[in-house]
Chains A and B, each alone.
Chain A
């Protein structure tokens, strides 16, 4: 007989007492509802008008409920959302291949529920959490952010998630916690890119933030995009979004959060330290050694309009985050 440890039983598997007591009533209601359900899938997630042929990602039931209750995000004045098909079809997720269309083509089999997140290091609530339980007390918020890739293209994306500082406060970091380290799933059977002989990256992918960056109200742990759950190619089921840093800082499919005293390793920084710094703040004045960061192509670009726009300091979030880096030489700490 399999005896599950309490931590293995997800909240969603436990029937609340109130439901249990009304089970007969509910059964009847469900039978009646069955006829309605057969008419078509629930449209409750339709926050955005998406084309009918778009592949949708409703996510597990416990998440659907939270997504429906999410607050609506504030649009960015004068900047349109990047269309859904580009947000979910143009991705850098090297675990699934190097080409922009690889993640969408190769990530669909990724098993994202149930999902465990290991919390460790300098905190008083370490442990192995079910994602569902980690998110349980929190309401989801939509945040519409610019995403600036280090390759000089950008998008505007409506994420749904929980501000990281709310999660961190619950995990109670100790006074020694100066940094937070995140790690992506390492599972070459599901992530073919991790098997590649020609890759220069060391798996698992890992990234980190300084504690004050992690606690900043803009920093988000996303579980959804465009009103739905995150598609695997966008880092399902749980990813970081730091809008004032280059995209590679916003690590995907996170399985570990560790509080550390020392600056943690960061994959791109480790691979090419002269090209990718630990901070990786968007900065039009500090070029990548091989290309300029002064401008960016806002996607989708078209053949009639390259849509080259000027890159802004801290990706346009300078008012909110510049104080974090006061007195630092940003040429040195790129």
Chain B
């Protein structure tokens, strides 16, 4: 399977069709929730259901984006690299839907409620800051910005790590009781970040010994 994907990328048609596949697949969650909303299948509190749904998918796409580098290093899946930006933009896409649905379906765009949430609620503030960070990364994700920023581009995009931690905090802060689900996500994030720390540390000691 893995081998065949790598082979697929040798031909232009293969690359193209795989691109379309990975472009369309992330739209499935959106299609699923839109269908459920259309058939009025979202329960007593559809607003909360939708907001939570988009939030959790934001986190999943963020993790997927962060998984690209470890997968390349560990499994040699170098073809994944060309889709990293798309995964990142889908993270931003679902984050925008999350925020928009919160503002629309829960706050009803009431200025007083928005002001209150943004000034008083720690988990809202943390989530909003994380979203601003994603917007900055999304805007600077184009080829033009990569060229213009030069080596600063990489520095700027290290922001993804604090963003991931803020998103995790935003999620954990909502828990009333029962931390099983949050713990699951936290462990995945720990693995994704831990891999980088170990890699960096090993490389550093190798350089020192040389």
Q: A residues near B, CB below 8 A?
A: 82, 85-86, 89-90, 94, 98, 100-101, 151, 153, 155, 196-201, 271, 287, 290-292, 294-295, 297, 299-303, 305-306, 308
Q: Which of A151, A287, A294, A297 has the most CB of B within 10 A?
A: A297
CB distance from B158 to the nearest CB of A (A): 30
Residue count of chain B within 8 Å CB distance of chain A: 30
A196 near B180: Cβ-Cβ < 8 Å: yes
Q: Name the contact of A197 in the complex, choosing from B45, B113, B174, B180 (C-beta under 8 A).
A: B180
B177 near A90: Cβ-Cβ < 8 Å: no
CB distance from B114 to the nearest CB of A (A): 12
**Number of A-B contacts defined by CB within 8 Å:** 82
Residues of B within 8 A of A100 (CB): 43-45
Q: Can you report 29 A-B residue pairs in the complex whose CB atoms are below 8 A from each other?
A: A86-B43, A86-B44, A89-B43, A89-B44, A90-B43, A98-B181, A100-B43, A100-B44, A153-B48, A155-B44, A198-B180, A199-B177, A199-B178, A200-B177, A200-B178, A287-B120, A290-B123, A292-B116, A292-B120, A297-B106, A301-B47, A301-B105, A303-B46, A306-B47, A306-B104, A306-B107, A308-B106, A308-B107, A308-B110
> Known pairs A86-B43, A198-B179, A294-B116. 4 more at Cβ < 8 A?
A100-B45, A198-B180, A290-B122, A297-B48
Q: Closest B-chain residue to A82, C-beta based?
A: B44
Residues of B within 8 A of A200 (CB): 177-179
Residues of A within 8 A of B179 (CB): 198, 200
Q: Which of B21-65 contact A (CB under 8 A)?
A: 37, 43-48, 50
Taking chain B's interface residues, is the majority helix, strand, or loop, or is none over half, making it mixed?
helix
B178 near A196: Cβ-Cβ < 8 Å: yes
Q: Closest A-chain residue to B174, C-beta based?
A: A290
User: Is there a chain A Cβ closer than 8 Å to B117's Cβ?
Assistant: yes
Residues of B within 8 A of A90 (CB): 43-45
**Bound CA span A303–B39, Å:** 12
Taking chain A's interface residues, is the majority helix, strand, or loop, or is none over half, making it mixed?
loop
CB distance from B35 to the nearest CB of A (A): 14
Residues of B within 8 A of A197 (CB): 180
User: Is there a chain A Cβ closer than 8 Å to B108's Cβ?
Assistant: yes
The answer to whether A198 and B43 touch (CB under 8 A), given A290-B123, A292-B116, A303-B37, is: no
The answer to whether A300 and B116 touch (CB under 8 A), given A200-B178, A308-B107, is: no
User: Is there a chain A Cβ closer than 8 Å to B151's Cβ?
Assistant: no
Residues of A within 8 A of B161 (CB): none
Residues of A within 8 A of B176 (CB): 151
**Bound CA span A306–B120, Å:** 21
Residues of B within 8 A of A299 (CB): 44-45
Residues of B within 8 A of A155 (CB): 44
CB distance from B127 to the nearest CB of A (A): 12
Q: Name the contact of A94 in the complex, choosing from B104, B106, B123, B178 (C-beta under 8 A).
A: B178
User: Is there a chain A Cβ closer than 8 Å to B183's Cβ?
Assistant: yes
Residues of B within 8 A of A295 (CB): 113
User: Is there a chain A Cβ closer than 8 Å to B200's Cβ?
Assistant: no
**Bound CA span A302–B116, Å:** 22
CB distance from B20 to the nearest CB of A (A): 30
